[in-house]
């Protein structure tokens, strides 16, 4: 644990701060909405005197959110939400600016957990989570801190699923806002952002050509759809696997071939999981995979590809045949390539979603936290992002790109508000 400007931190190298500042500055240029909110927060101080414990991917974009929260008056304690996604330069820059940061790229499970405890040691009033590990730790291991927590905000589908299970069992002790499902987040972050950044991660790790390649995308939620469309846009032949009939039908109607994984396994050349579930590529699929098949995961946790089965089956593991690409040699001579150790490929092998995308996601979370700070008598449980915040974010995003839209005329308003008017 190091100390920088009075804040306890655990970072890889304080000497990286300047490089981190440059990276954050580049992200800031493409985050106009968050910049605007930071300005408003600086004058209105909606988070004055509050402590925020955050468990997020420690990236340049996250640093911009942290700066917004601090401008609003909050003290921020930041832990990494994935052991491999931390940008060490960014962690150093934040620590140098007095943020308590607990994040080093490549830490083991024990240190990862310790870092979450370090952030919780702040005794937070508000929490921000990405995947649910902080909220889980808070409830399971630090219940004495729960009474002080006014509310929380969760940004991933995976984390929100966990929150809903907790709420159903009556275990969730405070109001938690599901920031995964706003219309703006689904459009921007899940589909466009993840679609692009996952392909970016695969290409940086492998440098393969996608045109003409058979790509199997497991899961056709917003993220899976984005990935499938991005791969098709680059000329890949995309097969989709699903367990949900509505989503499978959606994939069919959008022109994708839909197959069960057992049938996709022998034909796929690149597999990308985006389901939020586990064992999507399991031991039973390994015998069918082609020599040279590439396996990547886009889901939050590293459980979608059964890495243990792969390790147990392989006779030889060659780490890093390229950065973020490990080769598993099977007894029959086939080689399987696993990207980013089966962890979230866009954040490990690339830089996650671009700043323009995270602008929308984080602007919404900043406003949610400011709303939670003011909200009175909000019951414990999972709450939706207030629609007014979603609309405000959409309006600000349009304005920041110079896009103008029409307004209803009084006659149109009257027509739409009355059932008595006939055309
Ligand atoms: N999640 C996806 N992309 C991200 C990014 N660039 N920063 C933080 N969290 C992310």
Residue 409 located in a structural domain: no
> How many angstroms does the Cα of residue 395 sit away from the middle of ligand 1?
22
Give residue 187's pLDDT.
85
Q: CB neighbours (10 Å) of residue 301?
A: 18
Separation of 278 CA from ligand 1 center, angstroms? Answer: 22
Whether residues 179 and 263 fall in one domain: no
Domain boundary among 318, 348, 378: 348
Pocket probe for ligand 1: among 353, 356, 359, 362, the residue whose CB has the most ligand atoms within 8 Å is 353
CA 404–ligand 1 middle distance (angstroms): 28
Q: Quick one: 341 and 216 in the same domain?
A: yes
List the pLDDT tens digit at each of the 423 positions of the chain.
544 445 789 999 999 999 999 999 999 999 999 999 999 999 999 999 999 999 999 999 999 999 999 999 999 999 999 999 999 999 999 999 999 999 999 999 999 999 999 999 999 999 999 999 999 999 999 999 999 999 999 999 889 999 999 999 999 999 999 998 888 888 888 899 999 999 999 999 999 999 999 999 999 999 999 999 999 999 999 999 999 999 999 999 999 999 999 999 999 999 999 999 999 999 999 999 999 999 999 999 999 999 999 999 999 999 999 999 999 999 999 999 999 999 999 999 999 999 999 999 999 999 999 999 999 889 999 999 999 999 999 999 999 989 999 999 999 999 999 887 766
CA distance 223 to 220: 7
Residue 81 CA: nearest ligand 1 atom is: 9
Residue 406 lies in a domain: no
Is residue 289 in some structural domain? Answer: yes
Give yes or no: residues 77 and 153 share one domain. Answer: yes
Q: What is the pLDDT of residue 188?
A: 86
Cα 291 to ligand 1 centre (Å)? 32
DSSP designation for 301: S
34: left (phi over 0), alpha (psi -120 to 50) or beta: alpha
Q: Which domain holds residue 383?
A: 14-185+353-400
Q: How far apart are CA 372 and CA 262, in angstroms?
A: 46
63 and 105 belong to one structural domain:
yes
Give residue 1's pLDDT: 53
Integer Cα distance of 153 and 177 in angstroms: 5
Cα(197) to centroid of ligand 1, in Å?
A: 10
Q: Which atom of ligand 1 is nearest to the CA of 352?
A: 3
Q: Return d(Cα 213, Cα 235) in angstroms, integer.
A: 8
Ligand 1 pocket mutation, candidates 90, 352, 355, 365, criterion most atoms within 8 A of CB: 352
Pocket lined around ligand 1, Cβ cut-off 6 Å: 56-57, 59, 61-62, 347, 352-353, 358
Decide if 41 is inside a domain.
yes
Q: Which atom of ligand 1 is nearest to the CA of 155?
A: 1
Closest C-alpha residue for ligand 1 atom 5: 352
- What pLDDT was estimated at residue 341? 97
For residue 411, being part of any structural domain is answered with no
Write the DSSP string, 177-210.
Answer: EETT--HHHIIIIIIIIHHHHHHHHHHHHH----
Same structural domain for residues 23 and 122? yes
Residue 413 included in any domain: no
* Among 108, 110, 36, CA closest to 67: 36
User: Same domain, yes or no, for 285 and 315?
Assistant: yes
Q: How far is the CA of 91 from the centre of ligand 1 (A)?
A: 14
What CATH code is carried by the domain that includes residue 89?
Answer: 3.40.50.1480
Residues 303 and 374 placed together within one structural domain of the fold: no
Q: What is the distance between the alpha carbons of residues 293 and 261, in angstroms, rounded to a whole number?
A: 14
What is the 408 CA–ligand 1 centroid distance (Å)?
A: 36
Give the helix/strand (H/E) hosting 218. Answer: strand 214-218
Give residue 28 CA to ligand 1 midpoint distance, Å: 14
Mutate to test the pocket of ligand 1, among 31, 59, 188 (most ligand atoms within 8 A of CB): 59
Establish if 4 belongs to a structural domain. Answer: no
**Domains identified in the chain, total number:** 2
Q: Which two tokens stand for residue 10?
A: 């655990």
Domain assignment present for residue 410? The answer is no
335 forms beta bridges with 329
Residues 329 and 252 both lie in one domain: yes
Atom 9, ligand 1: residue with shortest CA distance:
57
Nearest atom in ligand 1 to the alpha carbon of residue 351 is: 6
Q: Which two tokens stand for residue 269?
A: 């050349």
**Residues 340 and 366 occupy one common structural domain:** no
Same domain, yes or no: 139 and 167 = yes
Q: 56 alpha carbon to ligand 1 midpoint, in Å?
A: 8
CA distance 140 to 120: 12
Q: 224 and 255, same structural domain?
A: yes
Of 316, 348, 380, the domain-final residue: 348
Q: Which of 412, 358, 361 is nearest to 389 (CA)?
A: 361
In ligand 1, the atom with minimum distance to the C-alpha of 194 is 2
User: Do 175 and 31 share a domain, yes or no?
Assistant: yes
The answer for 49, left when phi > 0, alpha when psi is -120 to 50, beta otherwise, is left
Domain CATH number, residue 293:
3.40.50.720
């Amino acid at each position: 644990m190091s100390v920088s400007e009075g804040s306890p931190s655990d970072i890889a190298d304080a000497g990286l701060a300047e490089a981190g500042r440059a990276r954050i500055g580049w992200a800031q240029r493409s985050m106009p909405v968050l910049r605007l909110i930071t300005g408003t927060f600086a004058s209105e101080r909606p988070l004055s005197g509050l402590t925020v414990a955050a468990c997020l991917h420690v990236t340049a974009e996250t640093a911009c959110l942290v700066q917004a929260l601090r401008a609003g008056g909050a003290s921020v304690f930041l832990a990494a939400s994935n052991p491999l996604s931390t940008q060490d330069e960014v962690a150093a820059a934040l620590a140098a600016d007095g943020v308590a940061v607990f994040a080093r790229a490549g830490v083991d499970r024990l240190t990862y957990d310790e870092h979450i405890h370090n952030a919780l040691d702040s005794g937070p009033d508000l929490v921000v989570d990405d995947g649910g590990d902080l909220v889980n730790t808070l409830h399971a291991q630090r219940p004495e801190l729960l009474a002080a927590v006014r509310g929380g905000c969760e940004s991933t589908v995976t984390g929100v699923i966990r929150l809903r299970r907790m709420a159903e069992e009556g275990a969730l002790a405070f109001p938690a806002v599901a920031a995964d499902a706003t219309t703006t987040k689904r459009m921007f972050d899940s589909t466009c952002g993840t679609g692009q950044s996952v392909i970016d991660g695969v290409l940086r790790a492998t440098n393969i050509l996608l045109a003409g390649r058979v790509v199997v995308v497991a899961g056709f939620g917003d993220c899976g759809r984005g990935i499938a469309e991005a791969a098709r846009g680059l000329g890949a032949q995309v097969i989709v696997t699903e367990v949900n009939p509505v989503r499978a039908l959606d994939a069919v109607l959008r022109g994708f071939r839909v197959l069960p994984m057992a049938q996709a396994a022998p034909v796929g050349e690149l597999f990308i999981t985006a389901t939020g579930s586990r064992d999507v590529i399991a031991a039973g699929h390994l015998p069918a995979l082609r020599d040279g098949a590439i396996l990547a995961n886009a889901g939050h946790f590293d459980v979608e590809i059964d890495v243990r089965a792969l390790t147990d089956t392989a006779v030889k593991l060659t780490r890093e045949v390229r950065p973020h690409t490990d080769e598993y040699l099977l007894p029959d001579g086939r080689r399987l390539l696993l990207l980013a150790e089966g962890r979230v490929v866009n954040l490990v092998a690339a830089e996650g979603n671009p700043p323009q995308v995270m602008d929308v996601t984080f602007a919404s979370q900043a406003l949610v936290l400011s709303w939670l700070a003011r909200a009175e008598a909000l019951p414990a449980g999972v709450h939706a992002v207030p629609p007014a915040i979603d609309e405000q974010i959409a309006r600000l995003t349009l304005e920041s790109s110079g896009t103008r839209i029409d307004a209803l005329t009084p006659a149109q308003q009257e027509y739409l508000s009355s059932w008595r008017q006939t055309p």
